[in-house]
Chain A
Amino acid sequence: MTASPAKTRITRILACTGAGILIGAVTLYLLLPIIALFFRTTPDLFIASLADPEVISALTLSLMTSIISLAVVIIVGTPFAYIHCRHQYPGKMVVDTIIDLPLVLPPAVAGLALLVLYGRAGLVGKYAALLGVPIAFTTIAVIMAQIFVASPFYLRQAKSLFDQLDPAYEMTARTLGASPARVFMQVVIPLTAGGLVSGAVMTFGRALGEFGATIMFAGNLPGVTQTMPLAVYVNMAGDFNAGLTISILLVLISFAIMIAVRLLARYEVSHA
């Protein structure tokens, strides 16, 4: 027995309506709070707040520390991920787990752990303080917290790309006379560049938005450790417009990051 055409049509309409409501509800749930931020201020107030020294200071510090963190992650993380993928060594699985740990660790716990190790009374921090190089509650601490929390985004992406890359490319390049360094720079990096850049962009975004580990380990000193997310938190009880302006800037940067990742994904080299 088959259903009548009218009944089939009604079922289809109901299914489409249900799917539409579900997609709309999820999208609105994620989007409405963001839109609300824009409606809470005016263009004039937004522009005026952009000139606020506190906003400029937080913006500058955030961008500077995030760029440095990203540079460190790329310079150290790329060869690390490559060596990790291409070689078997004792404890490799443990290292794999440790790389992912910051992703599931609450950032506040990460900050506390960094403080316990690098603080004035910490295992490493006390020696650093003796040498006149305090780490905790300095800009260095901001960078260290960002690296700790954001690096897994890059490392996971790099590992995945190197794992997927056919070793025949590297083997061919070696037999053609290329040194391991040349193989890495002229074959491995270009073939994985698109994915590496999108991993770097995600890492930058995570570093820029870092809050919990930073406030625990670096504190909240304007001009020294007060990054944009910390300035938003402080201004909740102070200059609300400044907080809104910084929040909107963070939203715009995040949006740009997501667009960049999507565009870069299109330009990945096919290895087929």
Chain B
Amino acid sequence: MLDATMNKKLRDFSLDLSLRAGPGEIVVLMGENGAGKSTALNIISGLVTPDTGSIRLDGSVLFDSGTSVDVPAENRRIGYVFQNSAVFPHIPVRDNIAFGLRAQHKSPVFIREHVGHWLKVMGLEDIADVKAGNLSGGQKQRVALARALATGPALLMLDEPFTALDAENIRRVKELTRTFVTEMAIPCLVVTHRISDCRDIGDRMYMINRGIRGWEGRPGDEPGCTCRNDSR
């Protein structure tokens, strides 16, 4: 369970949000570009420090401005997939997936077996030894998802994960995300600016506008907005 409240003064407005996501639940943060959605993910992951607030994940306090708790990003157990996937282009797919496990000092045998599992379930076995810089957009996104999930995160976050993908790869990444979030019973936050993504993948959605949370509810129930007819 993720339970986060955050306040941070940004250049043009103040980000003032409270978010909750339960085990196996996909919560979509939707809003225009620059609304503060990605900053919210960066704050939850520990990459950006809020001015005030508290972030709790599975009962553990990751940040609390009141008690000055601030767990470093590398110790938060959060899988984070960025918009451009950010796969490490200089190393093969296999090593990309193993990166987090090595950082956690897992044994070589565990890493080999675990990486093999994720290569298989993500359909990446054929390209396991290809340098990630040479992959297509869809393959990179699957590698990024496998890499984030391989560390056994307590929370998965995807920032605009479908932007650079074609229709087939969007469908595939959405299916994989849903499957593993359900299987691993972890909360998942997805940032998008497209209503179609909310409806396809979201269990619940928050509308974010200039750092403030607006409407909250089930995708498809949202009040009439300009995004309603947006489709790929």
Contact = CB atoms under 8 A, between A and B. Distances in A.
A174 B133 contact: no
Contact of A272 (B75, B99, B133, B151): B133
Interface string A154-197: 00000000000010110111111111001000110011000000
Nearest to A173: B99
Contacts of B89: 191, 269-272
B128 to A, nearest CB: 18
A272 B100 CA distance: 22
Contacts of A172: 80, 82, 86, 144, 147
A187 B91 CA distance: 10
Interface string B8-48: 00000000000000000000000000000000001001110
B133 A171 contact: no
Centre residue among A174, A186, A191 by max chain B CB count within 10 A: A174
Nearest to B134: A270
B103 interface: yes
Contact of A177 (B42, B47, B75, B88): B75
A169 B151 contact: no
A190 B90 contact: yes
A171 B47 contact: yes
Dominant SS among interface residues on chain A: helix
Contacts of B72: 174
B88 A187 contact: yes
A174 to B, nearest CB: 4
Interface string A107-136: 000000000000000000000000000000
Contacts of A272: 89, 133
A168 B151 contact: no
B114 to A, nearest CB: 13
A175 B78 contact: yes
B188 to A, nearest CB: 14
Contacts of A179: 74, 103
Contact of A174 (B74, B83, B90, B104): B74
Closest 10 CB pairs of A and B: A176-B100, A177-B103, A168-B86, A175-B80, A174-B73, A178-B103, A168-B82, A172-B86, A269-B90, A190-B90
